[in-house]
């Protein structure tokens, strides 16, 4: 916190102090985020649930989106057209949700049929 105050007071600092500032600044932001999240956790439960759900499907959505976008470019669809790109995103979200559910079902079936030695 001392380096943060020095940075604010003096503006320009040497390399070591500057690097320390950004390190401590990041730690401060993480600490502030944790405190704020604990404080508003009950009030913003819906938002945190939505963010958790988005995080749960983000990797699959990214992979599927990239694949389909590259396929659209290969086919020759103009993805620069905002309407086509928006429709692609609107279609991808439920598609990925269903795909993840199917993969979860297949995973559960596979685990049920495997035996532990």
Q: Render pLDDT for 56-104 as a digit per residue (tens, 0 to 9).
A: 888 888 888 888 888 888 898 888 888 888 888 888 888 888 888 898 8
Please report the pLDDT score of residue 2 as a whole number.
60
Q: Render pLDDT for 14-41 as a digit per residue (tens, 0 to 9).
A: 555 566 666 677 788 888 888 887 887 7
Q: Higher model confidence: residue 68 or residue 46?
A: 68
Please report the pLDDT score of residue 105 as a whole number.
92
How far is the CA of 106 from the CAs of 55, 94, 100, 103, in angstroms?
21, 18, 10, 5
At residue 117, does pLDDT exceed 70?
A: no
Residue 105 has φ and ψ, to the nearest 5°, of: -65, -45
Contact in structure between 17 and 6 (CB atoms under 8 Å): yes
Q: How far apart are CA 89 and CA 64, in angstroms?
A: 10
């Amino acid at each position: 916190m001392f380096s943060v105050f020095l940075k604010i007071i003096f503006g320009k600092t040497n390399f070591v102090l500057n690097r320390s500032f950004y390190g401590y600044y990041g730690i401060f932001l993480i600490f502030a985020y944790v405190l704020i999240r604990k404080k508003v956790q009950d009030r913003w439960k819906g938002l945190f649930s939505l963010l958790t759900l988005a995080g749960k499907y983000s990797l699959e959505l990214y992979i599927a989106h990239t694949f389909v976008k590259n396929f659209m470019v290969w086919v020759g669809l103009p993805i620069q057209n905002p309407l086509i790109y928006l429709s692609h995103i609107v279609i991808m979200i439920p598609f990925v949700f269903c795909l993840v559910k199917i993969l979860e079902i297949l995973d559960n079936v596979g685990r049920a049929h495997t035996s532990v030695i």
